[in-house]
Amino acid sequence: MGNRCTAGKDSQGQPAKNKTPQNKLRKTPQEDMRLSGLIKREPTLQKASRIRRKDIREDYDFEQKVLGTGFSGPVKLAKNKLTGRQYAVKPFNKKGAKRERIELLRNEAEIYLQLDHPNIARLIEIYEDEQHVFMVMEYCSGKELYHRLCEKQMYKEQDAAEVTKQMLDAIYYLHSHSIVHRDLKLENWLYESEADDAYLKLIDFGFSKIWNPRHNRKMHATCGSLAYVSPDTLSGSYTNACDMWSLGVIVYMLLVGYPPFYGSENEILDKIAAGKYSLTGPRWPKVSRNAKDFVRRLLEVDPNKRMTAKEALDHVWITERVKAPEVKIEHDALEGLKSYAQSSHLKRAALTMMAYSLTSEEIEGMRELFKAIDKSREGTIRLEELTAVMQDHMEISNDEIEKIFSVLDHNKDEQVYYTDFLAAMLSTRIRLHEDLIRRAFERFDIDNSGVISVENLKGVLGDNYDGAAVEEIVKMADIDGNGTIDYEEFLAAVTAASEWSISETMLVDGPNGNEMDRAKIKTADERLKAVAKFLDKAVEAEPSRRELIGMANLKHTSHSTPLIA
């Protein structure tokens, strides 16, 4: 590279290790285990749809490039055979693994499957066979925050504030949802691309813990990386404030290019415990008073006096330097929410599944829109936030907004999550293409039989999905009445959501009515779309089983698959 990274030197300019001290303080007790098996398949779309019990090599080709190395081995680059998209894959060999490592994997899988935020790298899916587990994750090609700091030597204060705001967004989301990361460091923040303004994303949840501050219990396991560990973590009794200390270390390094605590391992431990660091030196005079105050309030030995994530977001250093981008909330985006809410249960589930696989290019603009609606900054959208933005931009009643929100709120916890929002945007703002649809079909087809059965769907959705029995969901899409959904039927059901406006009447003629008569003279592709439209409306009209079976002949006249615009 040529230039030595000053992040790897102490404040006196003496060479240190190439990376910040990585001494792992691992002591993860059995009480941290949450999953009964290595990976527990739960009947929820968020979890079960992303757990694949098959050989990963059936779906992915591994490339030679090694992206990094974790406790479980090298993280490799892999390409999906169907889509050609690249992903980061973290392997884990179960054979002969120690119990501690199994516990770490269980913990990481459980927590990672819950996470859903623009500043957290996505977990796409998990593969498990007899000997291995593979976590397939979003590939962030823009390098670690550590490497960018090495290249820059130190960040300009404005850039440091903007980076810190993104980190705080992710941390506030975690803490608002009772999750503590416990290993925040420069190396665990990745840029999604090489662009200067690329999104920053958090990775590596191996030490993370589900922790609810309302229970008034503290954590005791000593874990993390030495340079970033908080005094309260070292004492063996701590809260989520440990993450804020680690953030303080990161911000300190961004501003001046070297760590606040340096020396031998014992010297570092002593300095951390005493909170002994300096805001003087050749680089500090150029740092603003507000930035110094921000660092001081994070590197506070007393965790009760340390800033919370919310307080840090409200600190003057952030609010004055980082302005929210102006986001134009367009009418068709809000129509997308309405369209999604009025789609069939199967389509909503499929769109949600597809949303997990969207690339950063495909969701460009959508994450800014999501953050603009999320006024609380907790990383989710609440009813009052959705009501405010919809009534500001369109004529709509409170009752209709509540119905839309209820459909979007899959977990029934009074929050709309990022992926649910992206799924709704698939209706109007994001281009549907067939590889997304094919991947969604394969995730429902959990036994790789080539069709989706009632049992397959129950394995992903549970017995009911958004109030509808799985048997009825299958029945509505099963045009030929054989008790399963093949790919063509699935394609028809999914594309119906994106082909017709929700402003059309939801009433429909029967199989012998004018709508179907017109369909008979259309091309094969158009006939299939007409069938999809009929199914979409039929869900709302609750037609008889006989009427749906009557559509089978039309479906079988199609000899080609429509391209999805």
Enumerate the β-bridge partners of residue 416.
Answer: 381
Q: Please list, in sequence order, all residues whose beta carbon lies within 8 angstroms of the beta carbon of residue 136, skipping any fewer than 6 positions away.
A: 56, 60, 78, 87, 88, 89, 123, 124, 125, 126, 127
Which pLDDT band, with edges at 50, 70 and 90, does 352 fall under?
Answer: confident
Residue 216 is assigned to a structural domain of this protein: yes
* pLDDT higher than threshold 70 for residue 318: yes
Question: Over the stretch 429-487, which tens digit does the pLDDT of each residue have?
Answer: 666 677 888 888 988 998 889 999 999 998 888 888 887 899 999 999 999 999 999 99
* pLDDT higher than threshold 70 for residue 277: yes
Q: How far apart are CA 44 and CA 411, in angstroms?
A: 9
Instruction: Characterise 450 by phi-psi region: left (phi > 0), alpha (psi -120 to 50), beta (else).
Output: left
More confident call, 149 vs 351: 149
Do 522 and 508 share a structural domain? yes
For residue 416, give the DSSP letter: B
CB 507 within 8 A of CB 501: no
* Given 32, 59, 183, 409, the catalytic residue: 183
Q: How many helical (H) and strand (E) elements, i.e. helices and strands, does the chain have?
A: 24, 12
Q: Please list, in sequence order, all residues whose beta carbon lies within 8 angstroms of the beta carbon of residue 179, skipping any fewer than 6 positions away.
A: 111, 114, 115, 208, 209, 210, 211
Q: For the chain, what is the radius of gyration of the CA atoms?
A: 26
More confident call, 180 vs 443: 180
Which long-range contacts link 466-469 to residues 24+ away (Cβ below 8 Å)? 466/345, 466/348, 466/407, 466/410, 468/345
Please compute the mean of the pLDDT values over residues 78-94 and round it to a whole number.
92
Residue 477 is assigned to a structural domain of this protein: yes
Do 166 and 215 share a structural domain? yes
Do 77 and 161 share a structural domain? no
Do 467 and 336 share a structural domain? yes
Do 108 and 195 share a structural domain? no
Q: How far apart are CA 314 and CA 307, in angstroms?
A: 10
Mean per-residue pLDDT of the chain: 80
- Name the domain count of the chain: 3
Residue of 19, 45, 57, 217 whose CA lies nearest to 116: 45
Domain boundary among 267, 288, 321: 321
Instruction: Supply the CATH number for residue 273's domain.
Output: 1.10.510.10
Do 165 and 59 share a structural domain? no
Question: Over the stretch 38-74, which tens digit does the pLDDT of each residue have?
Answer: 445 455 666 777 888 889 999 999 999 999 887 667 8
Instruction: Supply the CATH number for residue 101's domain.
Output: 3.30.200.20
Do 285 and 185 share a structural domain? yes
Which stretch of 7-11, 129-133, 165-169, 426-430 has the lowest confidence by average pLDDT?
7-11
- Look at residue 64 and give its three-state secondary structure: strand
Residue 409 is assigned to a structural domain of this protein: yes
More confident call, 277 vs 528: 277
Residue 226 is assigned to a structural domain of this protein: yes
Enumerate the β-bridge partners of residue 91.
Answer: 134
* pLDDT higher than threshold 70 for residue 140: yes
Is 159 labeled as catalytic in the residue annotation? Answer: no
Question: Over the stretch 354-406, which tens digit does the pLDDT of each residue have?
Answer: 888 888 888 878 888 999 999 999 999 999 999 999 998 888 899 999 999 99
Do 249 and 202 share a structural domain? yes
Do 200 and 88 share a structural domain? no
Domain boundary among 321, 343, 358: 321
Domain of 97 in residue numbering reads as 30-138
Instruction: Supply the CATH number for residue 462's domain.
Output: 1.10.238.10
* pLDDT higher than threshold 50 for residue 126: yes
Question: Over the stretch 195-235, which tens digit does the pLDDT of each residue have?
Answer: 988 999 999 998 999 998 887 789 999 888 999 999 999 99
Domain boundary among 138, 169, 199: 138
Residue 514 is assigned to a structural domain of this protein: yes
Provide the pLDDT for residue 463. 84
Do 436 and 343 share a structural domain? yes
- Look at residue 91 and give its three-state secondary structure: strand
Q: How far apart are CA 561 and CA 535, in angstroms?
A: 17
Provide the pLDDT for residue 71. 65
* pLDDT higher than threshold 90 for residue 36: no
CB 40 within 8 A of CB 115: no
Do 311 and 339 share a structural domain? no
Which pLDDT band, with edges at 50, 70 and 90, does 119 fall under?
Answer: very high
